[in-house]
Structure 1
Amino acid sequence: MAGGRRRGGGGRRGGPRQHPGTPGPASSPASLSPAATTAQPNAGAAPKTCRSKKAPEEPAARAPDVDSLGFQAMDRNVPGLSHVILQKLNMKSYEDYKSAMDGRKSGSDFGIRTYFDMFQKMEDTFKFCVECKKLPDALPDPKSLRRCKRCQNVYYCGVACQRANWPMHKKFCKKLKLVALDRLVEWLIFTGDIPFPTDTWTKAARDVKGWEDWFSMQEQLEEKLGAIVAGRYMTLLWANAGKPRPEDSELRESIRRLVTDFHSRPLTIGLGLRLFGIDPLTRPLTVHVVGASHVETLNTRLTDYDELTRMFPGHQGMEMVMVGVDVVDGPIMRPPLTTLAPRGSVYLSSYKGLYHDFWESHVETKLAARPDLVVGFHPGFHACPDLLAGWLPTLLLLRDYRLPVLFTVYSEQELKASLQILVELETHIVGYASNPFASLRPEQVYSSPNKPPVYCSSHYIALLGAEALPGAEELEDDDGWQGGEPSAAAVAGGIAPGLG
């Protein structure tokens, strides 16, 4: 299913989402205000291509509305919080929010006129007592909420609640400080300051084991970080954020985390190609990103996956097709190629609809290429029966057509739950492991922050066909790789040791 999304990973334009019953981050109006109101990135030029056939009109697909479920989950934790979010974004209903996430509202519609306005409205949506869950309007003095001085993230209605909450909060205070900082510095993605320009990899992809190796290849790294720290938009940010400006060293580390967040998706795709032995240097490739939503497509630039060209210099051409019911209109909203992807380029296209509908209307009719790899970032089919039911046609299609598939999840808990479902569907799980290109940006549960943070695409699962299919090739043993097929009992009993 193309729309069975929960939330997405690295470099998010739309912000991650909170799902009912699932630990993880949740959407924030920061997702909308910086992205949609003040700084639209410049789109790269589209390569000239030939299309011999006209795609049929795309159906209006329906799927479980995971944003709506996320709003309900927030209100269960903090009653009335979803109303605060809508109010701060100058919206009257969830339908207005959905319209904004679909790209149908302009920046002026949010009622934000200044930078200070933008950052203040964003901060206001985090103002609730983390202990008693009361919002400002429920207090005798709405201005009595006080922020934790250490993390600058959570709020308390008084000393009694702060003292009662401290035994729990002290476990996460340091991480929540990073979360609050990254939440603000993320704005520089939309201004174009982040990520900094990168160069062709000086090491073969197989020799780059993770972010430490990746950063070691970046020439003049400290100069690039310093230029962002000293830049105009960083200055504007801290002049309007309503918080003290951190030390430059803290800002540099925040930029590094956000750079990994931005590049996590393309590098995870590159990892998937390598794990399945798919060589971009020998032939043009097509990758389908299934379950794509506003997380992958809101304000996405045509150049956002160009790190794959630097990862595989001299490649024969790659097309990334974003497929999902929540794909946002923008530069990448263009039909898939009917010809080969341009040599040496990464071409982004999209389809707004369910994946099995896309398969029937485009792949089977040759209006789009059959994928060499299918990737799903945080599909979330483990989270509730409605989402699993929505994903089921796609999961069975991927299994029965024996397509190489890579799914990512936020945590070992999600990994365990997802493996259980995939085992029950008799898919051939060829391996699962910690992702060396997981985002290093910690994410909090929006309405319940005193929980362990999670990281986008922290683990991956690789699938190939059906469980009983003879001759299914195993992937090569790699760092942290858990090869073979876990039994249902093994999955239910816990994750195999050695992950991470």
Structure 2
Amino acid sequence: MAHRKKNTPSKVQSCSRNDPVEAPVVKGPNMDSLGFLAMDSNVPGLSQVILQKLNMKSYDEYRSAMEGKKLHADFGIHSYFEMFQKMEDTFRFCVECKKLPESLPNPKSLRRCKRCQNVYYCGSECQRANWPIHKKFCKKLKLVALDRLMEWLVFTGDIPFPTTPWKKNIHEVRGWEGWFLMQDDLDAKLSSILTGRYMNILWANAGKPKPEEVELTESIKRVTTDFESRPATIGLGLHMFQIDPYAKPIVVHVVGASHVETLNARVTDYDELSHMFPKHQGIEVVMVGIDVVDNPIMRPPLVAFGPRERVYLSSYKGLYHDFWESQVETQLASRPELVVGFHPGFHACSDLMESWLPTLLLLRDYKIPSLFTVYSEQELKYSLKISMELEMRITGCGANPFASLKPEQAYSNPNKSPVYCNSHYFTFCGLSDSPDEPDVGELEGDKSEDA
């Protein structure tokens, strides 16, 4: 493959591990360059920080605990109450002075905001000083705190509820509002979750007041959209590039895929694609990334597809350009009709950009239809600028109608606008015909404004 030129963007913020780091004045929570703790690679609702609090190394250990299997000696919790308390400990620091409990004379002096049940203060002085900023986000952070607890129901199996085949074509469905209207017996499904065993366990052990039923219902919906956002976004990409799953079997590659997508994305979870395209010819989703579970791709060389109307999941542990050379070019895996990257984050620092560059150039030079998602409109603008510098032909961009409705807060700085998974997207295919940058100044539907 002859790349046109390796023109790495010059204005990318550096976050090299070799850069000197100043010692903090007070001991506070760590933060990455975006203010998030690797949010795009977390198990939903269970960050690596939380896993550490639970003395667990992986989602596998957490899942085993939920299924009642034998735990290792260092598990460190013996009840649901203790589990929820340790999860809450992750967010227990003064949002004003950033001090952690162990940095205070009395660790129990931290008090939680009664309105949002999310942020903490070490005293009334810090609370008063922080209120002018916090009041802008307090209502939104209340939703964040609630959804963070309700997301536990994903791991118990209560969420998502069984969904219904789409009664309309994807271009006729106006986002999640239209999606919920298509769901048969929606009230009964939501009621079953609200009155279920794990909902009762959650609020008997959460250490917070149980919200009203209407608040719990809306939270279930938000968490459901977060769960269904990825398969729905893949379906959106197929529609945008006019790729017809009814005409032939379709192969989709998910690049930069993390262990989350292979552990949390069971085959049945991606059956939403079958609901979007009833009676399709078969859809294979191959997840490729350095953090995926080390499984072989499902049916190399993927030329003899299985039964129709099925969605298949495979994974490959490694970088995408290595996967292409070892699997696609040797015909051990099929060339994809679509490549999707969920939150690649290559705009964040030079190290990430360097690792992504071979993949981006490969997708560009082989003219692979591609769709990438980002957390916010600002991130979209940065990503588009880099893509234009790489002379990629941008075919579309904007607010994703199937973005997650579940707000995500910056861990170490909650008092900023929350972001939403798969909030915006951009699509590209091949080399650019024009150096003009797409106009994204008038994007609509951005949910990142202040609460």
Looking at structure 1, the residues matched to 126 and 297 of structure 2 have their Cα atoms a distance apart, in angstroms, of 48
Tell me: CA distance 1:172–1:137, structure 2 relative to 1, closer, same or farther (3 Å).
same
TM superposition shift of 1:381: 0.3
1:487 counterpart residue number = 436
1:408 counterpart residue number = 373
Answering whether residue 83 of structure 2 is matched by residue 118 of structure 1, we say yes
Looking at structure 1, the residues matched to 346 and 41 of structure 2 have their Cα atoms a distance apart, in angstroms, of 25
2:99 counterpart residue number = 134
TM superposition shift of 1:193: 0.6
Equivalent residue for 1:253, pick from 212, 218, 230: 218
Equivalent residue for 2:274, pick from 285, 289, 309: 309
Looking at structure 1, the residues matched to 41 and 287 of structure 2 have their Cα atoms a distance apart, in angstroms, of 24
Equivalent residue for 2:34, pick from 22, 38, 43: 22
| RMSD value, Cα | 2.5
CA contact (8 A) 2:42 2:260 kept: no
2:237 counterpart residue number = 272
Where does 1:374-389 land on structure 2 (aligned, <5 Å)? 374-389=339-354
Looking at structure 2, the residues matched to 296 and 336 of structure 1 have their Cα atoms a distance apart, in angstroms, of 20
Answering whether residue 347 of structure 2 is matched by residue 398 of structure 1, we say no
TM superposition shift of 1:294: 2.2
Equivalent residue for 1:496, pick from 436, 441, 448: 441
Looking at structure 2, the residues matched to 316 and 150 of structure 1 have their Cα atoms a distance apart, in angstroms, of 51
CA contact (8 A) 2:32 2:38 kept: no
Equivalent residue for 1:90, pick from 32, 55, 70: 55
Letter in 2 for 1:487: D
Looking at structure 2, the residues matched to 388 and 429 of structure 1 have their Cα atoms a distance apart, in angstroms, of 18
1:181 counterpart residue number = 146
Where does 1:31-430 land on structure 2 (aligned, <5 Å)? 31=43, 88-90=53-55, 97=57, 100=58, 107=65, 108-109=71-72, 110-328=75-293, 334=298, 338=302, 339-430=304-395
1:482 counterpart residue number = none
**Any idea what SS the aligned residue of 2:348 has?**
coil
TM superposition shift of 1:382: 0.3
Q: Which has the higher contact order (CA 8 A, sep 6+)?
A: 1
| Structure-1-length-normalised TM-score | 0.77
2:423 counterpart residue number = 458
Q: Name the stretch that deviates more: 296-305 or 153-162.
A: 296-305
Looking at structure 2, the residues matched to 166 and 335 of structure 1 have their Cα atoms a distance apart, in angstroms, of 57
Tell me: CA distance 1:346–1:251, structure 2 relative to 1, closer, same or farther (3 Å).
same
CA contact (8 A) 1:318 1:346 kept: yes
**Any idea what SS the aligned residue of 2:55 has?**
coil
TM superposition shift of 1:498: 3.5
**Any idea what SS the aligned residue of 1:127 has?**
coil
TM superposition shift of 1:19: 6.9
Q: Which sections of structure 1, spanning at least 5 residues, go unmatched?
A: 1-17, 36-66, 72-81, 92-96, 469-484
Tell me: CA distance 1:143–1:27, structure 2 relative to 1, closer, same or farther (3 Å).
farther
Looking at structure 2, the residues matched to 376 and 337 of structure 1 have their Cα atoms a distance apart, in angstroms, of 23
Looking at structure 2, the residues matched to 343 and 224 of structure 1 have their Cα atoms a distance apart, in angstroms, of 28
CA contact (8 A) 1:318 1:341 kept: no
Looking at structure 2, the residues matched to 225 and 210 of structure 1 have their Cα atoms a distance apart, in angstroms, of 19
How many aligned residue pairs are there? 408
CA contact (8 A) 2:41 2:259 kept: no
TM superposition shift of 1:27: 4.9
TM superposition shift of 1:175: 0.5
Answering whether residue 388 of structure 2 is matched by residue 439 of structure 1, we say no
**Any idea what SS the aligned residue of 1:436 has?**
coil
CA contact (8 A) 1:103 1:298 kept: no
Q: Which sections of structure 2, spanning at least 5 residues, go unmatched?
A: 1-29, 66-70, 446-451
Tell me: CA distance 1:333–1:209, structure 2 relative to 1, closer, same or farther (3 Å).
same
**Any idea what SS the aligned residue of 2:407 has?**
coil
Looking at structure 1, the residues matched to 247 and 43 of structure 2 have their Cα atoms a distance apart, in angstroms, of 39
Q: Name the stretch that deviates more: 366-375 or 103-112.
A: 103-112
TM superposition shift of 1:341: 4.5
Tell me: CA distance 1:270–1:323, structure 2 relative to 1, closer, same or farther (3 Å).
same
- Cα deviation per residue 1:414-465 (whole Å; 9 max; x = unaligned)? 0010001000000000110110000000000011100100000011000010
Equivalent residue for 1:449, pick from 410, 414, 417: 414
**Any idea what SS the aligned residue of 1:118 has?**
helix
TM superposition shift of 1:329: 5.2
**Any idea what SS the aligned residue of 2:268 has?**
coil
Looking at structure 2, the residues matched to 401 and 178 of structure 1 have their Cα atoms a distance apart, in angstroms, of 43
TM superposition shift of 1:220: 1.3
TM superposition shift of 1:20: 2.8
Identical-residue share of aligned pairs (%): 66
Tell me: CA distance 1:19–1:409, structure 2 relative to 1, closer, same or farther (3 Å).
farther
Letter in 2 for 1:496: G
- Cα deviation per residue 1:447-493 (whole Å; 9 max; x = unaligned)? 1100100000011000010113xxxxxxxxxxxxxxxx6725x67xx
CA contact (8 A) 1:411 1:454 kept: yes
Looking at structure 1, the residues matched to 37 and 176 of structure 2 have their Cα atoms a distance apart, in angstroms, of 22
- Cα deviation per residue 1:306-351 (whole Å; 9 max; x = unaligned)? 0110110010000000000001358x97565522253100000000
1:49 counterpart residue number = none
